[in-house]
Amino acid sequence: MGERMQIGEVAERTGLSLRTIRYYEEVGLVVPSARSQGGFRLYTEPDVERLQLIKRMKPLGFQLDAMRDLLAILDPTPDSPEIDDPEQRLVEFSDTAEQACADLRKKLGIAEEFAAMLRDHLDSPERRSANRK
């Protein structure tokens, strides 16, 4: 039941680095539910889910303190900060998220264009050296 794992296993399961996980604690995003006698971080299943949630948020480009607020609404914990007017805040987050998606789509467009251009440049110089023979 209270399956507690230490940071290494969590890192493996989430794909986050040890440093990142500790950092998220440092800034109050995910605080491990317990510590061992010797001071090892002990994480529970919900802790891991929370980290995975954060990982899924990252492509949206939120800053960590924004994520802290969003988590306080979506997945509150005892030591989550109080958010005033969470309803309102959620609307803002949603708007930001839509905007982030739009930005990503635009970026992807530009990136694909650029990648195509690179493929072009890859062909033409080869043809030049073929012609040289």
Partner DNA sequence: CCCGACACTAACGTGAGCGTAATGTCGGGC
Partner DNA sequence: GCCCGACATTACGCTCACGTTAGTGTCGGG
The strand pair at 5-6 and 41-43 is best described as antiparallel
Beta bridge pairs of residue 43: 5
Q: What length does the chain have?
A: 133
Of 36 and 99, CB closest to a copy of itself: 99
Packing angle of the helix pair 64-74, 45-57 (nearest 10 deg): 130
Of 42 and 83, CB closest to a copy of itself: 83
Q: x/- binding map, residues 49-88, to DNA, per CB under 7 A?
A: ---------x---xxxx-----------------------
Give dist(CA 13, CA 126) in Å, integer.
45
Residues in the site for a copy of itself, rule: CB under 8 A? 56-57, 59-60, 74, 87, 90-91, 93-94, 97-98, 100-101, 104-105, 107-108, 110-115, 118-119, 121-122, 125-126
